[in-house]
Chains A and B, each alone.
Chain A
Amino acid sequence: DAGVTQSPTHLIKTRGQQVTLRCSPISGHKSVSWYQQVLGQGPQFIFQYYEKEERGRGNFPDRFSARQFPNYSSELNVNALLLGDSALYLCASSLILLRSGELFFGEGSRLTVL
């Protein structure tokens, strides 16, 4: 099992542009979460999806959106990029929705906004 896979691994955008990040969970995992990790900080919760529905949202502006597909893969979209959006975006999958405890993380997509 390859684990959680994310693409792209690195990307550079300019302010105002839009970006789409992709995530494939571990086979059998129905829950996907997204986290933003700014340099020097711990990961911060953005979204959780379960069975294709948004089940949780962190304190992020509406420029951030996501969706989950029937095969449980997920996309994170960020519109109107700001310099402060530069971060490592982590996707994590888990078997169940509530109090699962263990999240399996991908290696992340490193976004640089110039």
Chain B
Amino acid sequence: AQRVTQPEKLLSVFKGAPVELKCNYSYSGSPELFWYVQYSRQRLQLLLRHISRESIKGFTADLNKGETSFHLKKPFAQEEDSAMYYCALSGVTQGGSEKLVFGKGTKLTVNP
């Protein structure tokens, strides 16, 4: 079964503090994982994907296959990071197409 678990519904930190949003997954094959973000009054958009190993807006995420985790980290949170964050797993349907399996999301609030 393909499943994504984000254990924290809400996360609140102060500006300048480190932040870590947790994501665990269940997938039998070779996973592709993503973080999507939704800022207030904006559409859902891709933040980063594990395969590109890039840092976007100071965020990084490392795929740990042993722990089946893909936690999102930033060393110094900024107020503009306040948003809803979704971890997603790419799976293939029987028809050979791609679907994303999303977690329930974590709402990050960065306080001044």
Contact = CB atoms under 8 A, between A and B. Distances in A.
- The answer to whether A and B interact is yes
Contact of A105 (B32, B43, B103, B105): B43
A106 B46 CA distance: 13
A58 interface: yes
Interface stretch (B11-19, B54-62, B87-95): B87-95
Nearest to B92: A98
Interface in B76-100: 86, 88, 90, 92-100
A43 B95 contact: no
A90 interface: yes
Given A56-B93, A57-B93, A100 B98 contact: yes
Contacts of A105: 43-45
Contacts of A101: 32, 34, 46, 49, 51, 90
A43 B102 contact: yes
Interface size classification for chain B: 20 to 34
Contacts of A107: 43
B100 A43 contact: yes
Q: Is the interface of B mostly helix, strand, loop or mixed?
A: strand
A99 B90 contact: yes
Contact of A106 (B43, B51, B88): B43
Interface stretch (A47-55, A69-77, A79-87): A47-55
B22 to A, nearest CB: 14
Interface string B3-17: 010000000000000
B67 to A, nearest CB: 21
Contact of A43 (B44, B45, B49, B90): B44
A43 B93 CA distance: 16
From B51, B100, B101, B104, name the one whose CB has the most chain A CB atoms within 10 angstroms.
B100
A61 interface: no
A50 B96 CA distance: 11
A50 B97 contact: yes
- 4 closest A-B pairs by beta carbon, nearest first, are A42-B102, A56-B93, A55-B97, A56-B97
